[in-house]
Amino acid sequence: MVASTILGALATILHNLINFYMWIVIIASVLSFIRPDPSNVIVQMLYRLTEPLFQKIRQIMPFVVFNGIDLSPLAVIIFLKFIDMTLVQLLFAYSRG
């Protein structure tokens, strides 16, 4: 009973964190087209939260940069969605029974 409650809570928190980070990735991607002021605190925060992961994806999969278009945010979103649909759903399933 207690273990299932903890697993359910963990799954819910993980699901919410994944969705929150996905929105951060989407916002950072949209801002990259606008070219905002780089000294803006929010822009710097978004850059610090996303760019290390984007850089790692570009190193592992160099084909995500296609004709000058960087598709690493899309790769991150697909990976996060995969984790959400597998690991989080497994945690939810274990918590229910």
pLDDT digits (tens, 9 = 90+) for 41-53: 999 999 999 999 9
Give the range of the structural domain holding residue 64, as residue numbers without chain letter.
2-96
Predicted confidence at residue 33, as pLDDT, reads 87
For residues 73 and 27, give the distance between their C-alpha atoms in angstroms, rounded to a whole number: 10
User: What is the band of 82 on the pLDDT scale with cuts at 50, 70, 90?
Assistant: very high
Query: pTM for the full model?
Result: 0.88
The number of distinct structural domains making up the chain is: 1
**Class of residue 2 by CB neighbours under 10 A (exposed 0-12, middle 13-18, buried 19+):** exposed
